């Protein structure tokens, strides 16, 4: 899909099927946690440290759901928010749950005090990227790219345009990416592939028939996620 098609998927999910953003966000975060455990953290989760980098929009909200699930599994979770004062309502709801659970919420200015981590979750910028990342988001991407810990990105490595494959400055260099609903064109562009890492597809419960509407025009099998809500693509 293109970014415009994904925007239309989100619209139809909410306006036609009454599948709300919070439900899609829950599914995204659940799938992301599955990849985090199965591909990176493996076992002895109580000994694993995970740094979650979250933006203020839907991408950040999915990362916060992942943080909650990994925390519940025993991982040591530290959440760093790019723009805590600009959180949109649904991600802010996810943030309030984490606060109630006692998960540490930290300002990104303290990232340089992080000594090590087993995994970094990138939920800074999703398909709404508009030019080069700036401000705190830029600083957080730069920090992540300097770490030895692998980075698992949600939907796209922050900084990568999902339609064109444009690699903005800076862009997360991910060890793996969980994209959502359907793969996006930009993930397969030659210059983008090294940033994407291993590619997974996550089920956010889009009805297959939705893709066949006149505004999207794609034929998608109902068997796409029959074996698992996460499908490895590369």
**Which pLDDT tens digit goes with each residue over 148-188?**
999 999 999 999 999 999 999 999 999 999 999 999 999 99
Question: What is the homologous superfamily of the domain 3-232 according to CATH?
Answer: YjeF N-terminal domain (3.40.50.10260)
State mean pLDDT over 102-121: 95
DSSP state letters, 114-133: ----SEEEEES--TT--SS-
- What would the mean pLDDT of 36-44 be, rounded to a whole number? 98
Cα separation, 184 vs 193, in Å, equals 12
pLDDT class for 128, splitting at 50, 70, 90?
confident
Q: What is the pTM assigned to this prediction?
A: 0.97
Is the pLDDT assigned to residue 90 strictly greater than 90?
yes
Instruction: Let me know: does 63 contact 52? Beta carbons within 8 Å.
Output: yes
Q: What is the pLDDT of residue 115?
A: 87
Q: Give the model's confidence band at 45: pLDDT under 50 very low, under 70 low, under 90 confident, else very high.
A: very high
Judged against a pLDDT cut of 90, whether residue 130 lies above it is answered with: no
Q: Mean pLDDT in the chain?
A: 97
């Amino acid at each position: 899909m293109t970014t415009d098609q994904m925007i239309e998927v989100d619209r139809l999910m909410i306006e036609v099927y009454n599948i709300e953003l919070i439900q899609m966000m829950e599914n995204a975060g659940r799938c992301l946690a599955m990849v985090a455990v199965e591909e990176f953290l493996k076992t002895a989760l109580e000994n694993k440290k995970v740094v979650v980098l979250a933006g203020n929009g839907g991408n950040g909200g999915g990362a916060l759901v992942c943080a909650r699930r990994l925390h519940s599994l025993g991982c040591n979770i530290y959440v760093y928010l790019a723009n805590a004062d600009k959180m949109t309502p649904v991600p802010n709801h996810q943030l309030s749950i984490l606060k109630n659970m006692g998960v540490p919420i930290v300002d990104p200015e303290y990232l340089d005090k992080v000594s090590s981590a087993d995994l970094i979750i990138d939920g800074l910028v999703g398909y709404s990227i508009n030019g080069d990342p700036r401000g705190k988001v830029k600083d957080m991407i730069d920090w992540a790219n300097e770490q030895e810990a692998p980075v698992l990105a949600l939907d796209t490595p922050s900084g990568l345009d999902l339609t064109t494959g444009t690699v903005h400055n800076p862009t997360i260099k991910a060890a793996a990416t969980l994209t959502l609903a359907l793969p996006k064109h930009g993930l397969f562009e030659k210059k983008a592939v090294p940033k994407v890492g291993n590619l997974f597809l996550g089920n956010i419960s889009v009805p297959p028939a939705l893709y066949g509407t006149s505004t999207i025009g794609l034929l998608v099998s109902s068997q796409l996620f029959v074996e698992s809500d996460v499908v490895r693509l590369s």
